[in-house]
């Protein structure tokens, strides 16, 4: 008798903490160790059903929905990697919201060769939490403030606020060259693609997704500048691609930067992307109170500013 014949169909009822979550994300959290490709296959084949009906992976769950899980072959399950507990700095926390100050080099979630990231580590450290979900993302090499929802109602509202531009996201970057204008907008459409090595990349392209970055020059010296950047849209790699396209690549950017300059800086000890998510300002997703959270410049960026600009940008 094989493993499949012993398995039974499982029915899950959707509770409040999973309301409005996509079906595929709901399943991936519960079927840990099962390859993602297999999860999508059983959804598309109709083996997974909601209220006895076939649905697509992007179906948004409702409280009380009954989700049918088919028997899954145990041989398909991969060894589950138990996340190492990361040293995560909590900037703010209440019953529905958690804000982390993430270090450069730490992924926000597993995937693309990374076994786990911030969210997997938090879930491992807090097994009693019914829900912990990323409200947005930061690139692995970008440091700074990261919003995490602890309740489905907060996540839905944060997503709405992000779509409507109601969350002010301010970044600081050190770039090559000095922009001619003190303040300007970069309004270039962005297109995602996969290069010959299978790596995800983004480029400026007519017909791509609309993207807007507001730029303010804070400091400049010796063909370098410190910029304040406000994201008006939230596209993948938006700041890095926009600045590179404008002729001011972020120092330490190994995807879109000035590689020769990066090598010279590495010999001087610069070994990270000089991009930092510095400030978040928004209304609390539940009580509506105004919140302003800030993360100071990381040590490496701070030392570089002091050495090259004499002061810390404000």
Domains of the chain, by residue range, sit at 3-73, 89-309
The tokens describing 111, both together, are 């995937």
| pTM, rounded to two decimals | 0.78
Tell me if 149 sits within 8 A of 97, measured CB to CB.
Answer: yes
Q: What is the dihedral of CA 280, 283, 289, 294, to 10 degrees?
A: 0
C-alpha 294/C-alpha 144 separation (Å) is: 9
User: What is the set of active-site residues?
Assistant: 139
Of residues 80 and 187, the one with the higher pLDDT is 187
Of 290, 275, 194, 268, which Cα lies nearest the Cα of 228?
A: 275
> What does the mean pLDDT of the chain come to?
88
Residue 16: pLDDT band by 50, 70, 90 thresholds? Answer: confident
For residue 263, give the 3-state DSSP assignment: helix
Helical (H) or strand (E) element with 219: strand 213-221
Of 64, 58, 54, which Cα lies nearest the Cα of 21?
A: 58
Same fold, 3-73 and 89-309: no
| CATH superfamily, region 89-309 | Pseudouridine synthase (3.30.2350.10)
Please, what sign has the CA dihedral across residues 199, 211, 292, 96? Answer: negative
Model confidence pLDDT, tens digit, residues 51-76: 999 999 989 988 889 999 888 754 44
**CATH class for domain 3-73?**
alpha beta
């Amino acid at each position: 008798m094989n493993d499949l014949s012993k398995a039974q169909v499982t029915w899950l009822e959707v509770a409040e903490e999973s309301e409005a979550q996509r079906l595929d994300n709901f399943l991936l959290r519960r079927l840990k160790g099962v390859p993602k490709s297999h999860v999508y296959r059983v959804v598309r084949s109709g083996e997974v059903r909601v209220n006895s009906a076939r649905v697509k992976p992007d179906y948004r769950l409702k409280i009380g929905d009954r989700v049918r899980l088919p028997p899954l072959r145990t041989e398909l399950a991969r060894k589950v990697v138990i996340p190492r507990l990361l040293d995560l700095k909590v900037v703010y926390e209440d019953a529905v919201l958690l804000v982390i100050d993430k270090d450069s080099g730490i992924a926000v979630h597993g995937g693309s060769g990374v076994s786990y990231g911030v969210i997997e580590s938090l879930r491992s450290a807090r097994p009693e939490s019914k829900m912990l979900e990323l409200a947005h993302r930061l690139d692995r090499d970008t440091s700074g403030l990261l919003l995490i929802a602890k309740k489905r109602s907060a996540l839905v509202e944060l997503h709405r606020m992000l779509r409507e531009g109601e969350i002010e996201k301010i970044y600081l970057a050190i770039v090559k060259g000095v922009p001619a204008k003190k303040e300007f907008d970069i309004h270039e459409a962005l297109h995602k693609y996969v290069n010959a090595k299978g790596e995800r990349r983004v480029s400026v392209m007519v017909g791509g997704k609309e993207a807007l970055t507001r730029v303010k020059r804070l400091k400049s010296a010796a063909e370098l500048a410190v910029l304040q950047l406000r994201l008006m849209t939230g596209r993948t790699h938006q700041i890095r691609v926009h600045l590179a396209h404008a002729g001011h690549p972020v120092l330490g950017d190994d995807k879109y930067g000035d590689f020769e300059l990066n090598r010279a800086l590495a010999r001087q000890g610069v070994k990270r992307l000089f991009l930092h998510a510095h400030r978040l300002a928004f209304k609390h997703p539940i009580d509506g109170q105004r919140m302003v959270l800030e993360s100071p410049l990381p040590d490496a960026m701070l030392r570089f500013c002091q050495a090259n600009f004499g002061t810390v940008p404000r």
